[in-house]
Structure 1
Amino acid sequence: MLALTGYVDRLSAKPGGTIAFKISSTLGGEYLADLVRIRCGDPNPAGPGLKILPVDLPFGGRFRGRHQPVHLGSYGRIETPAALADVPVLTLSAVIWPTLPDGNAQAILTVGDPSGDAGIGLEIGPDGAALRLVTTGGTQTAAVGAPLTARAWYRIEATVDVAAGTARIVQTPLDPARLGLRAATTTVQVTGKPLLAGAGTMLAATPGGEGVPASRHYDGKLEAPTLVAGDLDTAGVPAGRVLAAWDLGRDIGGVRVVDIGPGGHHGVVVNLPTRGVTGARWTGREMCWRHAPKDYAAIHFHSDDLYDCGWETDFSFTVPDGMPSGLYGARLRSGEHEDIIPFYVRPTPGKTGAPVLFLASTFTYQAYANHRRGNLDEGFRARIKDWGANPNSPDDHSDYAHSTYNRHPDNSGVALSSRLRPMLTMRPGFLTFNDARGSGLRHFPADTHLLDWLEAKGIAYDILTDEDLDDEGVDLLRPYAAVLTGSHPEYHTPGTMDALETYTQEGGRLVYLGGNGFYWRIARNPDLPGVIEVRRAETGIRAWAAETGEYYHQLDGELGGLWRRNGRPPQRLAGVGFSSQGLFEGSHYRRLPAADDPAVAWIFEGVPETIIGDFGLSGGGAAGFELDRADVNLGTPPNTVVLASSEGHGPSFIPVFEDLLSHVNTLNGEPRDRLVRADMIYADLPSGGALFSVGSITFCGSLSHAGYDNPVSRILENVVRRFAAGS
């Protein structure tokens, strides 16, 4: 763990609202917390440099440090009476789809604490299904001796017959024709009297002891965990009295574990395992869990899942009246250790004084939070040290779980991401790439290039977050003459898409300053604050692919994947949409003849250049990495003017997969190499609103070049000032 770090309970607050800070320190002694404003988060000495400005407001102070641990791993927790297991014959059974069966012992269904003083556990391990039982003679373990095949369905069961003094374990493959396996079984003598009176039942884990809520986590899918007073028949049907039977296909969108047995022993899942996944009965006839919950009656547990660190609050801050809207941070310092936890101050409702709104892409920051890239080599570490950049990388610290661009230990994709944890990548000074021609910033710190430019140009602005917009809707946007995005507003909910579309349809002006925006559809659940979900379905530029049949979100029950596959291509909102991706390299735009039309010539006032943006702190050029193009077939407004297009991209750049029909044919008929471009566009909308989009992630990295006096900066200033003036 980091020596000093923390997180906030919410990313933004308006005057009168309170933000709580959750801090962990392993240093002992005190730490100092003070308030700063974050203007520029780029430590590159060739640029403006880090601009972390002190704020003179009552805030923080000195606090005694304390270590607050993180407990990774999802599981089910059920409060059951101690007498539940006190029967002459007890059977524990479950249907499983293990993903790491060759590892250490993993608990499937436990009653009491089988690694402690009293309890029984149905487990798996390298020797297949296993039993762990506490008796008067100590802890006894046994296994069937038949290794499990990964990603195959089995029914496993363990029966303890107290009177006979025996225990039987059975492992039955549910697809024997494919696996070529028979059921495996073993019977062992129980030495001593079983101690089964431990209270509480767990799924996919077992109690972990003092200070640790769970251990021996299971990686894989789990279905139909059942407790029976008696035995099961050969088909797995209870021959005795059902004590508890948990239907994991119920309340898929939430955290409840529903017992359909007579006792109603309901529980909850902890640390948000993946739900809405195919179960043992899935046939492929239905792709949406809402339509066939019995086909989706499984939960995929992971040993590294995390929802909420659950840390206690060290201090709070209530935003005072009159505090300017902006990006701030709680700076923590103790000796040589420092961390800055960002947060946003919203404008006072009804008192908006700025004509321009910056919409912080916090859903995207969260989707990428703690992205382990594996690129932290010796040269990169040297740059971080030389520049005084943020030294804390997810490559070194996996304690705080991962991003939706990583995979779990069992190689399944991370579909859920929470902000209720330290997000190491959402810090000023964090470098993503060892960029040979620039700074290598992405997401949160890259967007401070725009904030720094707004400050340098004296353009008044307010800030709201994606989460604010999703919670409260288009009314938040209506007071503003123009809404500006950052460099990569990739992840959006139906609520944020609806709000932005309504804003432009009502006459608003949208300035889209990134690439690969409005790309993935994500889900939220108001009952689970702070978490987003993405299912990487069907196609697209992806870090992993969702399993077939698992394209529907668990949090809202709706189809995931690309917004384009959901009938809302980015071109429909922003005029351009994702077209090509390559290495983190920047090139330039070439101004097109259409830019000289008197109707749009004002955009290029003071810009005589034909080549635009062959410089910058992001890849060395204003057009790079991920590129968006105009396409009327995908929704670009028919009167859109393409002002400039990029050129000169390296051999790593390829068209996005959703545009390719084969190795030669493209969806819109353009040659493959023509799809490798960023289009800078302008469109007057029938509503009286307007669009200006640049189609490139690296655009804002060029704004500060030559003291903010360059063609990229002048173009954006012409647009923003005209939009801000309401024209």
Structure 2
Amino acid sequence: MLALTGYVDRFSAAPSGTLAFKVSSTLGEDYTADLVRIRCADPNPAGPGMKILPVDIPFGGRFPSRFQPVHLGSYGRIDTPAALTDVPVLTLSAIIWPTLPGRGPQAVLTVGDPDGAAGVGLEVGPMGATLRVAGNGTGALATGVPLAARSWYRIAATVDRRAGTVRVSQTPLDAARLGLKPAEATATLRLPEPPGGGVMLAAAPGADGPVARHYDGKLEAPMLVAGTLDAAGAPGGTVLAAWDLGRGIDGVRVEDLGPGGHHGVLVNLPTRAVTGSRWTGNEMCWRHAPDEYAAVHFHSDDLYDCGWETGFSFTVPDGMKSGIYGARLRCAGHEDIIPFYVIPAPGRPTAKVLFIGSTYTFQAYANHRRGNLDEAFRKRIADWGAYPHNTDDHSDYAHSTYNRHPDDSGVALSSRLRPILTMRPGYLTFNDPRGSGLRHFPADSHVTDWLEAKGIAYDVLTDEDIDEGGAEVLKPYAAVLTGSHPEYHTPGTLDALEGYTAAGGRLCYLGGNGFYWRIARNPDLPGVIEVRRAETGIRAWAAETGEYYQQLDGGLGGLWRRNGRPPQRLAGVGFSSQGLFEGSWYRRLPAADDPQVSWIFAGVPEEIIGDFGLSGGGAAGFELDRAEAALGTPPGTVVLASSEGHGPSFIPVFEDLLSHVNTLHGGTRDRLVRADMIYADLPSGGALFSVGSITFCGSLAHNGYANPVSRILENVVRRFAGG
């Protein structure tokens, strides 16, 4: 873990709003916290440089260091278990789909503390289904037959106090997996006192607090029976507890259908809305057949809320300027800056221009571990004085929706209630030979520094603010600007932005690969977003068949395009091509000289635009968007410029390909590899200006902001802001 770090309970607050900062320090002296304004977060000495500016507002102070741990791994906790003191024969049973059965002991269903004085645990491990009984040291009874990964089994263990024997069994349930056979084992063990209170799913009680032996895989129908099971798994005695994991899929409650109503809760957000042992394939949506989705996928590295105590709080004073700020922590030579946004008071904008912090995208990529941290990259980080910590070195705070769990399943849920290393000033994503290698939060500071350099007043709001406030919070602004990569959106954020332009608003989309993935939220689980990488698209992993619908809201996950809302419908352009993190240029088209749009190029005589920049060396690169009338580009849209000169790594997005030669909307594959810079006057009186490239904003600062890219954007923003 980092020696000094923290997180904030919300990304933004308005005047009179309070933010709580959660801090962990392993250092032996007090830490200090002061307030800074984050204007530019690019440490590249060839650019504007880091601009972290002190703010003279009462903030923070000196606080005692204290270490606050992180406990990874999801599990279920039943706090009011059935009384077992008068149960001479106890059976533990569950249906499982183990994903790492050979890794080591993993608890599936635990009663009491099998590592202490009284308790039993039904587990899986390298030797198959296993029963662990308190008082028998580390020894346990196993079937001796390894389980096959990603296959359904019923496992059970019976403790017979009258006979002094124990039995454990595993029964394969997947008829399509040929060669899997049932197995069982029986033994005489020293039986302890009847287990006391406490039942856990997918983990075991830890010796000193944190749980242990996390289970990786799916779990269905855990059950406790006073008696035995028959050959079909039906209880032959009294059911003490039977938890139906198909109920309340959109939440964290665990419901017991047994007579005692021993309900529980899921901790650290395991994945729900996953196919169970009874899934037929006839329904793809869990809402229509919850019995077929009555399983939970647990992971040993899941994390929801670190749960740290508050180190200090800050109430935003009246009159504080809207913008991007940071709580700067310092102690014994260590430093960390926790970013946050100060937004205007409701209904009281302070500028005509609004900049949107793409916090849903930052959260989707939070702690993205890329595996690209070699010695040359480390040297650049050190030489530039960049943010010194990289996620390749740190797994402590969980990873992004671009990573996989230890069992190779994709990470679908991401929380902001944890330290986010990638959302720090100076964080380098790539060792970019032609630029800075920034993405997301630090990359978007290219826009805010440009606004400051040009003297353009602006307010800020985050995705979450817009999701909660709707189009009404955008309505006061003459112009709304995105950052370089507004990729992830809920129905609420798209509704707000579409409502804004439909009411006459003017939108500047300054990135690429925007408005691409649909994500979900749930008001009962604040701080969490969910993405299901369904069917197609440029993806880091693919959702399992039948698991395309999101657990948090029940909506179809995947691309917004598959939900009937292509990016072109909102922004005029949509994702068309991706390649390496390298940039080329735009070529101005004849349509740009039309008097209706020629004002955009006032003072820009160049035909080649943006063959320079701090992101890949050019304004058109990495991820490219194009106009496409068939996907919703508004009638009358003018394509002002298109990119060219892209390298061999660039490919069309998969959703545009029908075969190795045919594309969905005609034209050649090569023609899909381009970024379109467009302008559209909308029937509402609003307007669109979109650049179609993730690397565009990295070119703004070239030559002290005196360059064609900067001039084009200034012409547009000043025109939009002036009405």
TM-score normalised by length of structure 1: 0.99
Aligned equivalent of 1:154 = 153
For residues 18-66 of structure 1, the C-alpha deviation after alignment (integer angstroms, 9 at most, x for no partner) is 0000000111211111000000000000000000000001101111100
1:86 Cα deviation from its structure 2 partner? 4.0
Aligned equivalent of 1:391 = 388
Which whole-Å CA distance do the structure 1 matches of 2:502 and 2:476 have between them?
14
Farther off after superposition, 171-180 or 24-33: 171-180
Which whole-Å CA distance do the structure 1 matches of 2:350 and 2:572 have between them?
29
Aligned equivalent of 2:189 = 190
Q: Could you tell me which amino acid in structure 1 is paired with residue 249 of structure 2?
A: I
Distance verdict in 2 for CA 1:110–1:23, change over 3 Å: same
Q: Within the alignment, does 1:435 sit opposite 2:432 as a pair?
A: yes
Q: Within the alignment, does 1:101 sit opposite 2:98 as a pair?
A: no
Which whole-Å CA distance do the structure 1 matches of 2:643 and 2:13 have between them?
39
- Counterpart secondary structure, 2:563: coil
Tell whether the 8 Å contact from 2:505 to 2:687 is kept in structure 1 after alignment. Answer: yes
For residues 122-168 of structure 1, the C-alpha deviation after alignment (integer angstroms, 9 at most, x for no partner) is 00000000000114x65651100000000000000000110000011
Which whole-Å CA distance do the structure 2 matches of 1:279 and 1:179 have between them?
19
Which whole-Å CA distance do the structure 1 matches of 2:30 and 2:343 have between them?
31
Which whole-Å CA distance do the structure 2 matches of 1:107 and 1:703 have between them?
55
* Count of residues in Structure 1 that have an aligned counterpart in Structure 2: 723
1:183 Cα deviation from its structure 2 partner? 1.0
Which whole-Å CA distance do the structure 2 matches of 1:54 and 1:218 have between them?
47
For residues 607-660 of structure 1, the C-alpha deviation after alignment (integer angstroms, 9 at most, x for no partner) is 000000000000000000000000000000010000000000000000000000
Match of 2:277 among 260, 265, 280: 280
- Counterpart secondary structure, 1:455: helix
Match of 1:638 among 635, 638, 644: 635
1:115 Cα deviation from its structure 2 partner? 1.5
1:391 Cα deviation from its structure 2 partner? 0.9
- Counterpart secondary structure, 2:171: strand
Which whole-Å CA distance do the structure 2 matches of 1:226 and 1:205 have between them?
15
Match of 2:543 among 539, 542, 546: 546
Aligned equivalent of 1:657 = 654
- Counterpart secondary structure, 1:314: strand
Which whole-Å CA distance do the structure 2 matches of 1:68 and 1:200 have between them?
25
Which whole-Å CA distance do the structure 2 matches of 1:590 and 1:322 have between them?
44
Which whole-Å CA distance do the structure 2 matches of 1:364 and 1:103 have between them?
33
Aligned equivalent of 1:66 = 66
Which whole-Å CA distance do the structure 1 matches of 2:110 and 2:708 have between them?
66
Tell whether the 8 Å contact from 2:113 to 2:195 is kept in structure 1 after alignment. Answer: no
Which whole-Å CA distance do the structure 1 matches of 2:452 and 2:609 have between them?
23
Aligned equivalent of 1:211 = 209
Aligned equivalent of 1:25 = 25
Q: Within the alignment, does 1:669 sit opposite 2:666 as a pair?
A: yes
Distance verdict in 2 for CA 1:177–1:497, change over 3 Å: closer
Q: Could you tell me which amino acid in structure 1 is paired with residue 722 of structure 2?
A: A
Aligned equivalent of 2:334 = 337
Distance verdict in 2 for CA 1:605–1:84, change over 3 Å: same
For residues 528-573 of structure 1, the C-alpha deviation after alignment (integer angstroms, 9 at most, x for no partner) is 0000000000000000000000000000001000000000000000
Q: Within the alignment, does 1:90 sit opposite 2:90 as a pair?
A: yes
Q: Could you tell me which amino acid in structure 2 is paired with residue 110 of structure 1?
A: T
- Counterpart secondary structure, 1:237: coil
Aligned equivalent of 2:14 = 14
Which whole-Å CA distance do the structure 1 matches of 2:458 and 2:632 have between them?
30
- Counterpart secondary structure, 1:382: helix
Which whole-Å CA distance do the structure 2 matches of 1:611 and 1:82 have between them?
74
Which whole-Å CA distance do the structure 2 matches of 1:231 and 1:273 have between them?
30
Match of 2:616 among 612, 615, 619: 619
- Counterpart secondary structure, 1:410: coil
- The 5 A counterparts of 1:342-361 are 342-361=339-358
Which whole-Å CA distance do the structure 2 matches of 1:357 and 1:176 have between them?
58
1:175 Cα deviation from its structure 2 partner? 1.9
Structure 1 runs not aligned, ≥5 long:
none
Farther off after superposition, 644-653 or 177-186: 177-186
1:82 Cα deviation from its structure 2 partner? 6.6
Which whole-Å CA distance do the structure 1 matches of 2:85 and 2:181 have between them?
30
Distance verdict in 2 for CA 1:476–1:596, change over 3 Å: same
Aligned equivalent of 2:199 = 201
Tell whether the 8 Å contact from 1:131 to 1:143 is kept in structure 2 after alignment. Answer: yes
Tell whether the 8 Å contact from 1:114 to 1:139 is kept in structure 2 after alignment. Answer: no
Q: Within the alignment, does 1:481 sit opposite 2:478 as a pair?
A: yes
Which whole-Å CA distance do the structure 2 matches of 1:81 and 1:617 have between them?
59
Tell whether the 8 Å contact from 2:82 to 2:262 is kept in structure 1 after alignment. Answer: no
Tell whether the 8 Å contact from 1:85 to 1:111 is kept in structure 2 after alignment. Answer: no
Which whole-Å CA distance do the structure 1 matches of 2:85 and 2:237 have between them?
14
1:171 Cα deviation from its structure 2 partner? 0.4
Tell whether the 8 Å contact from 1:369 to 1:425 is kept in structure 2 after alignment. Answer: yes
Q: Could you tell me which amino acid in structure 2 is paired with residue 7 of structure 1?
A: Y
Q: Within the alignment, does 1:716 sit opposite 2:713 as a pair?
A: yes
Tell whether the 8 Å contact from 1:32 to 1:60 is kept in structure 2 after alignment. Answer: yes
Q: Could you tell me which amino acid in structure 1 is paired with residue 659 of structure 2?
A: S
Distance verdict in 2 for CA 1:177–1:611, change over 3 Å: closer
Match of 2:219 among 218, 222, 226: 222
- Counterpart secondary structure, 1:720: helix
Q: Could you tell me which amino acid in structure 2 is paired with residue 207 of structure 1?
A: P
Which whole-Å CA distance do the structure 2 matches of 1:57 and 1:120 have between them?
57
Tell whether the 8 Å contact from 1:250 to 1:258 is kept in structure 2 after alignment. Answer: yes
Aligned CA RMSD, in angstroms, stands at 0.9
Aligned equivalent of 1:595 = 592
- Counterpart secondary structure, 2:377: helix
Tell whether the 8 Å contact from 1:4 to 1:339 is kept in structure 2 after alignment. Answer: yes
Q: Could you tell me which amino acid in structure 1 is paired with residue 63 of structure 2?
A: F
1:79 Cα deviation from its structure 2 partner? 1.1
1:311 Cα deviation from its structure 2 partner? 0.1
TM-score normalised by length of structure 2: 0.99
Aligned equivalent of 1:296 = 293
Q: Within the alignment, does 1:696 sit opposite 2:685 as a pair?
A: no
Which whole-Å CA distance do the structure 2 matches of 1:511 and 1:68 have between them?
42
1:179 Cα deviation from its structure 2 partner? 3.0
Distance verdict in 2 for CA 1:178–1:146, change over 3 Å: same
1:176 Cα deviation from its structure 2 partner? 4.3
- Counterpart secondary structure, 1:338: strand
Match of 1:527 among 511, 524, 527: 524
- Counterpart secondary structure, 1:175: coil
1:177 Cα deviation from its structure 2 partner? 5.1
Structure 2 runs not aligned, ≥5 long:
none
1:181 Cα deviation from its structure 2 partner? 2.1
- Counterpart secondary structure, 1:526: coil
